[in-house]
């Protein structure tokens, strides 16, 4: 391992990828921990981290991380670790600063940047959210979490964004993702995830969200047709006209009527994807039973 860590990043990433597809990301992560970087930085030592958990990467390393994680996340959009790495590697030098500036331009966004709240099961007090009226933002959010079997504690820590404030912006975007799910009603199935990523791209311009739309090519034919005909037009229309969702102080909106918040933001809910898929399964089951009876 010591020998491998001293070789150029592209060579190590290529060799790792031949062994295991996801090893490209692991190889870059391992290289990032190497104390001596003669091929990456002007000095012989890696620059010190800018915040706890930060891993400084050279441009070559970021490119390797972006390519490896991007290809693998297209193959499996449910790999949150790969999507997180890809998002961080492609957010600079422009896009994460644009999102940070959008927060600085908003009074609410500036308060979020000053307070730096985190979204976890502890900070949100999930039992309290379950006690709220059904029409509230908090109850809508917790109901979505319970229905989808999702926890707010599973979001990866930002590591590869160099600017400390921008790292928080990326962390905030990442932790707010489930609120976007709840607000739109989109489930965590592949169709729902890709549709929400298209919405986020139209609203945030983060490259990862836009490139994730190509994962539509991995869907079944019927799902792909539904995405192009219904959910992509919905995502683009609502993402462009909605206010910057990064500036929602969710912790202060939990007791608010969810329909009121949707109207203020300019977001309409798409057709219920869970219900559509349920009806399709029932129809396939009926057809199979009919065919089995005819064959008997």
Residues belonging to the binding site for Zn(2+) are 177-178, 181, 193
Rounded to an integer, what distance in angstroms lies between the CA atom of residue 174 and that of residue 87? 10
CA-CA distances (angstroms) from residue 10 to 1, 16, 19?
A: 16, 10, 15
Which element (helix H / strand E) includes 92?
A: none
Query: Do residues 271 and 230 make contact, with C-beta atoms less than 8 angstroms apart?
Result: yes
Rounded to an integer, what distance in angstroms lies between the CA atom of residue 273 and that of residue 194? 12
How deeply is 244 buried, as exposed, middle or buried, from its count of CB atoms within 10 A (0-12, 13-18, 19+)?
A: middle
Closest by CA position to 135, among listed 218, 276, 259, 11: 259
Rounded to an integer, what distance in angstroms lies between the CA atom of residue 274 and that of residue 279? 9
Query: Do residues 73 and 212 make contact, with C-beta atoms less than 8 angstroms apart?
Result: yes
Could you tell me which residues are annotated as the binding site?
A: 177-178, 181, 193
């Amino acid at each position: 391992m010591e020998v491998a860590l001293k070789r150029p990043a592209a060579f190590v990433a290529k060799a790792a990828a031949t062994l295991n597809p996801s090893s490209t990301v692991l190889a870059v992560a391992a290289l990032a921990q190497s104390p001596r970087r003669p091929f990456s930085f002007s000095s012989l030592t890696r620059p010190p981290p800018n915040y706890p958990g930060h891993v400084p990467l050279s441009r070559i390393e970021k490119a390797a991380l972006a390519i490896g994680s991007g290809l693998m996340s297209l193959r499996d959009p449910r790999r949150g670790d790969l999507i997180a790495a890809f998002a961080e590697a492609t957010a600079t030098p422009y896009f994460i600063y644009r999102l940070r500036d959008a927060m600085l331009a908003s009074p609410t966004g500036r308060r979020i940047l000053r307070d730096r709240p985190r979204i976890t099961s502890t900070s949100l007090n999930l039992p309290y959210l379950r006690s709220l009226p059904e029409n509230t933002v908090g109850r809508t959010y917790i109901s979505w979490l319970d229905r989808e079997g999702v926890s707010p504690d599973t979001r990866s820590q930002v590591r590869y964004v160099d600017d400390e404030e921008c790292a928080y912006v990326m962390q905030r975007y990442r932790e707010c993702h489930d609120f976007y799910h709840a607000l739109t009603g989109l489930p965590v199935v592949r169709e729902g995830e890709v549709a929400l990523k298209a919405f986020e791209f139209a609203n945030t311009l983060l490259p990862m969200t836009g490139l994730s739309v190509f994962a539509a090519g991995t869907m079944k034919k019927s799902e792909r047709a539904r995405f192009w005909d219904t959910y992509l037009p919905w995502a683009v229309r609502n993402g462009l006209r909605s206010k910057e969702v990064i500036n929602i102080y969710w912790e202060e909106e939990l007791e608010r009527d969810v329909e009121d918040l949707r109207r203020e933001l300019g977001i309409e809910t798409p057709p219920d994807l869970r219900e559509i898929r349920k009806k399709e399964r029932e129809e396939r089951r009926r057809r199979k039973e009919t065919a089995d009876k005819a064959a008997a």
